[in-house]
Amino acid sequence: MFYEIRTYRLKNGAVPAYLKVVEEEGIAIQRKHLGELVAYFFSEIGPINEIVHIWAFSSLDDRERRRAALMDDPDWRAFLPKTRDLIEVAENKIMKAARFSPIGSIAP
């Protein structure tokens, strides 16, 4: 398994508005295309105004296909402007679980 970890630093005080629009509109579209949502977090202690969401994919090709389908969805394209202005910095990582990880490992 491969895990995409997306981290967003939002504008000061934007977490409630961001979570509301994602919950009401965005997450259903993402799940439709991306599949397995592992976790969706917001910071409580530490760096403030931070959102982290993690998605699992069987392969990098699987991720590429799913992301392309998401970007082709007119509902997703209509949704994006609702969050874009709330995000200051976006970071994206693709991680692979170690063999001994309790979450979906694959042999290196």
Chain segment 70-88, per-residue pLDDT in tens: 999 999 999 999 999 999 9
Residue 108 has pLDDT above 80, yes or no: no
Separation CA 91–CA 72 (nearest Å) = 22
Instruction: From 1, 5, 21, 14, select the one nearest 87 (Cα to Cα).
Output: 14
Domain ranges of the chain: 2-96
Report the pLDDT value the prediction gives residue 106, as an integer from 0 to 100: 52
The pTM score is: 0.88
Sorted by sequence, the CB contacts under 8 Å of residue 33 that are 6+ apart come out as 66, 67, 69, 70, 73, 76
Ranking 1-10, 89-98, 99-108 by mean pLDDT, the lowest is: 99-108
Report the pLDDT value the prediction gives residue 99, as an integer from 0 to 100: 83
What does the block give as tokens for 108?
A: 């290196």
Select 2-96's CATH number: 3.30.70.100, 3.40.50.10800, 1.20.1430.10, 3.30.470.20: 3.30.70.100
Element spanning 10, H or E: strand 2-10
Report the pLDDT value the prediction gives residue 105, as an integer from 0 to 100: 57
